[in-house]
Amino acid sequence: MVAHRSHNTSLPRFFSAFLVLMPFLSACGYNTIPTQEEQAKAAWSEVLNQYQRRADLIPNLVETVKGYASHEREVLESVVEARAKATQVTVSPETLSDPEAFKAFQDSQAGLTSALSRLLAVVENYPDLKANQNFLALQAQLEGTENRIAVARRDYIEAVRVYNTSLRTFPSMLWNTLWFGNKPFQNFTVSDDAMAPPKVDFGTQQGG
């Protein structure tokens, strides 16, 4: 009976001690890694959302261009193929530490950006296409999406920088070694000029 009473009193003592220790755990960096990990994952989800937004615009863009420049077959097909590849390669927030998966994603999106740039260059040869209202609407949507992609990438790069730094610095690195075992997240490695969105300018600003 005494042993039973002792067991019952040990639980409140344990929880009381835990509650007392919680502020110290937080102050010494225990919560740093989980918090920054979730922030980096959230930033990555936004990157994926914006790239998907761009991919959703491309079929309508290709069809509109095809209506005015159907003989630009090679350029149009390259965009379609690049989009297909880009939508097939993805990295979930749970696999952001996989360098091969991240590189494949980065390369596929860079390929789509390059294909889009070639398509937009071809459009300059078709004044009627540049004046088409549907095309002008796509212009605005694509330009806005490319800007959002750039912002989302910058936010992700910064979130990963902060998270990866916490894995290497005291005291959070101590918690990672003893408790979490997290690995650094991958980050974009392309040059700044390669990260720049394709120029979305169809000559509609002339004379302005």
* DSSP sequence for 176-187: IIIII---PPP-
Task: Judge if pTM exceeds 0.95.
Answer: no
Q: How many CA atoms lie within 13 A of 80 on its CB side?
A: 12
Nearest alpha carbon to residue 162 among 65, 35, 72: 35
Q: What is the pLDDT of residue 192?
A: 45
pLDDT per residue rounded down to tens, the chain (208 residues) = 444 544 455 545 544 444 444 454 445 567 898 999 999 999 999 999 999 999 999 999 999 999 999 999 999 999 999 999 999 999 999 999 999 999 999 999 999 999 999 999 999 999 999 999 999 999 999 999 999 999 999 999 999 999 999 999 988 878 776 767 889 999 998 654 444 555 555 444 444 3
Q: Which amino acid is at 129?
A: L
Contacts from 94-102 at CB under 8 Å and sequence distance 24+? 96/40, 96/41, 96/44, 96/160, 96/185, 96/186, 97/182, 97/183, 97/184, 97/185, 97/186, 98/186, 99/186, 102/186
Cα torsion through 70, 76, 77, 79, rounded to 10: -170
